[in-house]
Amino acid sequence: MTHAPLIALIDGPLAADTPGLSARTDACALHLRAAESPAALHAAHMAAAIRANAPAARFLGISIFPGSLSTSLATAAEALYRAAESEAEIVHCSFGHTSASHLLTEAVTAVLAAGKLLTASAPARGAPVYPAACEQVFSVQGDARCTPAQWSRLDLPGARFGACAGSPGAAVRGASLAAAHFTGLLAHACMNGGVERMLRAPSFTGRERIVPGGPQAA
């Protein structure tokens, strides 16, 4: 792939003037003031983080958060099916559910069967979440060692990869932003040598551990 990839961003509603926005579809009924909501802010930050590494990336926005950052399993599954049927090459999910759901895993299977790459955020603490815990999904948590242009190979129970989680005090940070940075790196790799080549060259290997001098690989 040498063209800018289309990324299905499953999140809050993206504004019409979002850089790279090709189309938007809403899998849920939006709040009347959704454009000013936490969901819209979250989606905007995800799109910006993705384009930090892939400035030419294009978006298919699929809204699942009506205003607040919560949704139903049925809505999330519907969004994944829409992504599976779309022309998107990469599907991004900065959300997670604590329990395995047949409904959600079937939708993930549909995305992967369609030949798409799927990235999902995974918290650094606690039990694995879905869809990140599904097989063949790029599960990503925050890694303090990483800049926005770096990623790590962790191979932890909850996350295979790590990426930049953002700056302390930022409006949006954590696993959500880390997954978005990683999606941007995937998009960049698609246009520059391929994902397999990217995955052979992590910036860090092994889990992060905090020491007096700063974070290091264990």
* Mean pLDDT, rounded, for 16-24: 97
Tell whether 1 is covered by a domain.
no
Give residue 57's Cα distance to chain centre.
Answer: 14
14-23, 27-36, 82-91, 138-147, range with the lowest pLDDT: 27-36
Q: What is the pLDDT of residue 210?
A: 54
3-class DSSP state of 11: strand
Q: What CATH number is attached to the domain comprising 77? A: 3.40.50.200
User: What values do phi and psi take at 99, rounded to 5?
Assistant: -115, 145
- Position 151 scores a pLDDT of 98
52 burial (CB, 10 Å; 0-12 / 13-18 / 19+) is middle
Structural domain includes residue 84 = yes
Q: Residue 193 pLDDT > 80, yes or no?
A: yes
For residue 176, what are the domain limits? 6-217
Query: What pLDDT does 2 receive?
Result: 67
Does position 213 have pLDDT exceeding 70, yes or no?
no
Q: Is the pTM of this model over 0.95?
A: no
Compute CA distances 140 → 26, 33, 95, 183, 214, whole Å.
25, 31, 11, 9, 21
* Number of domains within the chain: 1
What pLDDT, on a 0 to 100 scale, did the predictor assign at position 100?
A: 82
Q: Does residue 188 carry a pLDDT above 70?
A: yes
Helices (H) and strands (E) in the chain — how many of each?
5, 11
Task: Report the alpha-carbon distance of residue 180 to residue 141 in Å, rounded.
Answer: 10
